[in-house]
Amino acid sequence: MESLSSLWPTILSTIVDVAPIVGVLVLFQVAVLRRKLPNPGRMIAGFVFVLLGLAFFLVGLEQALFPIGETMARQLTGAETVGPQSAADGVDWRDYWLVYTFAAAIGFATTIAEPSLIAVAIKAEDVSGGTVRAWGLRLAVAVGVALGVALGCFRIVTGTPLPWYIMAAYVIVIVQTFRSSKTIVPLAYDSGGVTTSTVTVPVVAALGLGLAASIPGRSPLIDGFGLIAFASVFPIMTVLGYAIIASWLNQRRKTIESKDG
Amino acid sequence: MNEYTRLLAPMLQRTATSLRDLAPIIIVIAFFQIVVLQQPFPNLENVVIGLAFVVIGLALFIVGLESALFPIGELLAEGFAKKGSLTALLAFAFCLGFGATVAEPALIAIAAEAADVASEAGAIANSDQARSSYALEVRLVVAVSVGAAIVLGVFRILKGWPIHRLIIGGYLLVVALTFFAPDDIIGVAYDSGGVTTSTVTVPLVAALGVGLATSIRGRNPMIDGFGLIALASLTPIICVLAYGMVT
| Chain A residues with beta carbon closer than 8 angstroms to that of B60 | 49-50, 52-53, 56
* Alpha carbon distance B48, B25 (integer Å): 13
- Average pLDDT of chain B? 86
Whether A3 has a pLDDT exceeding 70, the answer reads: no
Nearest to A183 by CA among A243, A126, A137: A243
Q: Which residue of B67, B105, B197 is in closest CB contact with A193?
A: B197
pLDDT confidence tier of residue A188, bands split at 50, 70 and 90 = very high
pLDDT tens-digit map of B16-69: 888 888 899 888 888 888 887 777 777 788 888 888 998 999 999 999 998 888
Q: Please, which pLDDT band fits residue B91 given cuts at 50, 70 and 90?
A: very high
Asked if A172 and A116 touch (Cβ cutoff 8 Å), the reply is: no
Q: Range with the lowest mean pLDDT among A29-38, A79-88, A243-252, B22-31?
A: A79-88
Mutation target among A12, A135, A177, A190 for the B interface, most CBs of B within 10 A: A190
Q: Which residue has the higher pLDDT, A16 or B214?
A: B214
Q: pLDDT higher for A71 or A132?
A: A132
The whole-number pLDDT of residue A174 equals 93
| pLDDT > 70? residue A90 | no
Q: What is the pLDDT of residues B210-233, one digit of tens each?
A: 999 998 888 998 999 999 999 998
Q: Which of B139, B137, B141, B149 is nearest to B109 (CA)?
A: B139
Whether the CB-CB separation of A62 and B50 falls below 8 Å is answered with yes
Residue type at A204? V
Closest CA to B155 of B75, B209, B79: B209
Q: What is the mean pLDDT of chain A?
A: 83
Closest residue of chain A to B42, computed from CA coordinates? A68
Of the candidates B57, B64, B191, which has its C-beta nearest A46's C-beta? B64
The span from the CA of B95 to the CA of A133, in Å, is: 32
ipTM higher than 0.85?
A: yes
Nearest by Cα to A120 from B149, B210, B59, B54: B210
Residues A95-107: tens digit of each pLDDT: 788 889 999 998 9
Report helix, strand or coil for A17: helix
Kindly provide the b/e burial profile for residues B95-118, where b requires at least 16 CB atoms within 10 angstroms of the residue's own CB: bbbbbbbbbbbbbbebbbbbbbbb
pLDDT classification of A120: cutoffs 50, 70, 90: very high
Dihedral angle at the C-alpha atoms of A116, A118, A124, A129, nearest 10 degrees? -150
d(C-alpha B57, C-alpha A61), whole Å: 10
A74 has a chain B CB within 8 A of its CB: no
pLDDT in tens, A49-59: 999 998 888 88
The pLDDT value recorded for residue A84 is 47
Tell me, letter by letter, the H, E, C secondary structure of chain B. Answer: CHHHHHCHHHHHHHHHHHHHHHHHHHHHHHHHHHHHCCCCCCCHHHHHHHHHHHHHHHHHHHHHHHHHHHHHHHHHHHHHHHHCCHHHHHHHHHHHHHHHHHCCHHHHHHHHHHHHHHHHCCCCCCCHHHHHHHHHHHHHHHHHHHHHHHHHHHHHHHHCCCHHHHHHHHHHHHHHHHHHCCHHHHHHHHHHHHHCCCCCHHHHHHHHHHHHHHHCCCCCHHHHHCCHHHHHHHHHHHHHHHHHHHC
Answer yes or no: do B103 and A62 touch at CB < 8 A. Answer: no
Closest Cα in chain A to B113: A221
3-class DSSP state of A107: helix
A237 CB within 8 Å of a chain B CB: no
- For the ranges A171-185, A209-223, B192-206, the maximum mean pLDDT occurs at A171-185
Place A79 in a pLDDT band, splitting at 50, 70 and 90. Answer: low
Substitution target from B7, B12, B61, B237 for chain A, most A beta carbons within 10 A: B61
**Angle at alpha carbon of residue A186, lines to A250 and A49, rounded to 5°:** 105
Q: Which residue of A has its CA nearest to B102?
A: A20
Report how far residue A133's alpha carbon sits from residue B211's, in angstroms, rounded to the nearest whole number.
20
Within 8 A of B55 by CB-CB distance, chain A residues are 60
CB within 8 Å: B191 and A64? no
Residue A85 has pLDDT above 80, yes or no: no
Assign B109 a pLDDT band (cuts: 50, 70, 90).
confident
The minimal CB distance from A53 to the residues B58, B171, B184 is found for B58
Q: Residue A44: its chain B contacts at CB < 8 A?
A: 3, 68
pLDDT band at A2 (very low <50, low <70, confident <90, very high): low
Q: Is the pTM of this model over 0.90?
A: no
The Cα B138–Cα B120 span in angstroms is: 16
Which amino acid, A117? L
pLDDT tens digit sequence for A157-187:
888 888 899 899 999 999 999 988 888 999 9
Chain B nearest C-alpha distance from A261 (Å): 33
The answer to whether the Cβ–Cβ distance between B88 and A28 falls below 8 Å is yes
Cβ separation B225–A127 shorter than 8 A: yes
pLDDT for residue A94: 74
**CB B29, CB A69: distance < 8 Å:** yes
d(CA A104, nearest CA chain B) in Å: 10
